[in-house]
Structure 1
Amino acid sequence: MVHTARRARRVTGAAAFAVVGTLALAACSGSSEAGTTSSASGSTEAAAELTPVSVQLQWLTQAQFACYYSALDQGYYEDEGLDVTIIPGAVDIVPIDVLTSGGADYAVSWVPKVLGSIEQGAAVTDVAQIFERSGTLQIAFKDSGISSVADFAGKNIGSWGYGNEWELIAGMQKNGVTLADLAGGSTVQQAFDMNAFIAGDIDAAQAMTYNEYAQVLETVNAATGELYTPDDLTVINWNDEGTAMLQDAIWADADRLASDADYQATTTKFIKGTIEGCIYAKDDPQSAADIVTAAGSTLGTSHQLWMTNEVNKLIFPSTSGVGHINEDQWAQTVDLAMNTVNPEGATIITTEPPATAYTNEYVDAALAELTDEGVDVYGADFTPIDVTLNEGGE
């Protein structure tokens, strides 16, 4: 199956108002051609046949979600009979709360965050694990004296909080470093930027491979007048440390899955379209980056392309097919969630999650359909592109 370029099927936000205005002007032009009327009627009928679906993202519009925006733009969701609305996230939005309250049909969120919600009563199911690898890093300047996790003792270690800190804490525990061992006796509250790190207020900062790490590399080193380079940094990757936890997953309403046959079918279709969007972003990262920018992202051009490329690395090559939930990775995430202790002495969860916490039923059905259509769902030959970052990500 060849993924050919398609025009966007759905326009949202300010662009939507522009389109509406254009259509209104066209309607006022007094055109009475039968062909035009018939075409408009046909389009309306076709749109009415699509199943409305909404997905709540974990964060703002950016290439972290290139799979979804590419699937929408390229018509993969429409091919599955779906009319998808993508809802951007924000700091104060908890995707699972939106899902369980009926504000969206699906949600994208990190697994450890949702495991806590499940233990508290949220009836949701991980139906597709889009990111197979963790994108979380802890980075330090090489002159900081930090070359490993063991060197965190006595240092200012940054953390965003909001449930993003668990891999960091697990990594410290594995290396015999307690929160009390850090400068000040705990982590430093880190903003969602790298300003404090660049200023030297944080010795080792949290960074996503696809975002904050790039922010540092887009910054001019005052000592040299040139952009920082990877050679200036020590990078600790939780995948290498054995404390990586599953991140961006597609979550569905568990109760609806148990009782609604239409929702079950829609779930497979939504996953299938999303996987096709991931494959499109893999094959044409520049186009995917442009699609996300057009959807409303304010990130710079080089930063957006960097993000698309780095997200592709978290998905491809896929061990068992994009979205399939690998049992060993799920087990590691649950084990860390039950045994990693936060500053208050609590773990994410205290008991094993229920069997309904994840299922491969729908993603495997989607993968089977795509395989039958000749789509490579593994991307074994995936090769990242080289991205040159510009100052400020422009």
Structure 2
Amino acid sequence: MSRGSILLAASVALGAMALSAAGCSKQDKAAVGESGNAVEKADKVRLQLKWMTQAQFAGYYAAKAKGFYTEEKLDVSILPGGPDIVPEQVVAGGGAEFGIDWLPSLLSAREQGTPLVNVAQVFQHSGMREVSFKSSGIKTPADLKGKKVAVWFGGNEFELLATLDKYGIDRNKDVTLVQQPFDMNLLVTKQVVAAAAMTYNEYKQVLDTGVKPEDLSLIDFNEEGTAMLEDGIFAREDWLAKDPKNKDIAARFLRASLKGWAACRDNANECVDVVLKQSPTLGKDHQAWMMAEVNKLVWGPPAGPEPGMMDKAAFRRTADIALKFKVIKKPAEDSAFTPEIYELAKKK
């Protein structure tokens, strides 16, 4: 071989090595850090919300914006909900690893054969109230007897029904229940003496009409002992059991999410801004109100178990009310929730 051929061959070999090194560099760029150490690939998971983007879910958006999910090596997609989206169906169908919904909906889905399990109870208190004008004379639930009362049906009426039952009021004979639209017009125009409202949403709508808080009476189902658990995180049981890694993913997801909720407790205004960047559907004033009220449901007052921990007494009360009013046909078993993910999340 001539000297020129040798030089040409060497040049080709060196070029091939350079191209190979460059290709390797591009291919492994996401897997190798600047120090040359391997970087663990993030696990992709999806969270299906119960409703559209708003401060009700601020903790999850904060966890994403502040990098808490990234710190846990998670790539989290947050999927907004809506009137036509049932989180249980989405998770059951594999459209998301985690979902947010009220516990009675989860119990109903389980009874119908969908293998879902609550892995964390974030809201420790119910945000639902029955609101009336003081001028109507409604001071306690007993005063609803003989009155026209509005409430949302489709699974939202059970706290009111349990309260009526507690006071010996027959819902079919002693009170007129009215299907309530998702606004407060029936109450504001005084077509009913009382209407359902979430503290973080519809109650604010009443105040926005110029009504003062001191002009209103609230029936608090938490105080009545008839409250049901809302906004818990659930997953598929078979997904958790399929691979030990999935329980670890769930624990990391919960740990980061709770950090997000703590951030919203400590800096509510910043969390409101995070939510508004995602969706400006509700104005800043309304979102700020929502954030303040949601923080009470997560953290108190009144004080409750730590967010994420299931209060067994609250679970049983919710399950018993669900059974009584035929949301479920059989008593719910404690296996509808698992403390394991919360315990794993708290270990780190």
The bucket for the TM-score relative to the shorter chain is: 0.7 to 0.9
Q: Find the residue that maps to 1:104 and give its secondary structure.
A: coil
Q: 1:320 to 1:180 in 2, by over 3 A?
A: closer
1:136 Cα deviation after fit: 0.5
Structure showing greater Rg: 2
1:180 Cα deviation after fit: 1.6
Tell me the amino acid that sits aligned with residue 358 of structure 1. Answer: F
Aligned to 2:55: 63
Aligned to 1:200: 190
Asked whether the 8 Å contact 2:106–2:117 carries over to 1, the reply is no
Asked whether the 8 Å contact 1:156–1:182 carries over to 2, the reply is no
Tell me the amino acid that sits aligned with residue 342 of structure 2. Answer: V
Tell me the amino acid that sits aligned with residue 173 of structure 1. Answer: D
Asked whether the 8 Å contact 2:248–2:344 carries over to 1, the reply is no
Structure 2 unaligned spans of 5+: 1-24, 34-38
1:94 and 1:248 map into 2 onto residues whose CA distance is 13
Q: 1:181 to 1:234 in 2, by over 3 A?
A: farther
Q: Does 1:254 align with 2:237?
A: yes
Tell me the amino acid that sits aligned with residue 217 of structure 2. Answer: T
1:350 Cα deviation after fit: 2.4
Aligned to 1:114: 106
Aligned length: 317
TM-score (norm 1): 0.77
Aligned to 1:4: none
Structure 1 unaligned spans of 5+: 1-37, 220-226, 342-346, 370-394
TM-score (norm 2): 0.86
Q: What does residue range 299-338 of structure 1 map to in structure 2 within 5 Å?
A: 299-317=282-300, 319-338=304-323
Asked whether the 8 Å contact 1:98–1:104 carries over to 2, the reply is yes
1:148 Cα deviation after fit: 1.3
Aligned to 1:74: 66
Q: Find the residue that maps to 1:247 and give its secondary structure.
A: coil
1:41 Cα deviation after fit: 8.3
Aligned to 1:286: 269
Deviations 1:312-356 (A, max 9, x none): 1011145432211011111111122222x3xxxxx1122222443
Q: Find the residue that maps to 1:164 and give its secondary structure.
A: coil
Deviations 1:19-73 (A, max 9, x none): xxxxxxxxxxxxxxxxxxx999856978992111101111111100011111111
Q: Find the residue that maps to 1:151 and give its secondary structure.
A: helix
Q: Find the residue that maps to 2:172 and give its secondary structure.
A: helix
Q: Does 1:277 align with 2:260?
A: yes
Asked whether the 8 Å contact 1:321–1:367 carries over to 2, the reply is no
Q: 1:42 to 1:243 in 2, by over 3 A?
A: same
1:66 and 1:241 map into 2 onto residues whose CA distance is 28
Asked whether the 8 Å contact 1:66–1:281 carries over to 2, the reply is yes
1:362 and 1:174 map into 2 onto residues whose CA distance is 35
Q: Find the residue that maps to 1:125 and give its secondary structure.
A: strand
Q: Does 1:188 align with 2:178?
A: yes
* CA-based RMSD: 2.0
Deviations 1:277-298 (A, max 9, x none): 0000000000111111111141
1:84 Cα deviation after fit: 0.6
2:144 and 2:153 map into 1 onto residues whose CA distance is 17
* Overall identity of the aligned pairs, in %: 39
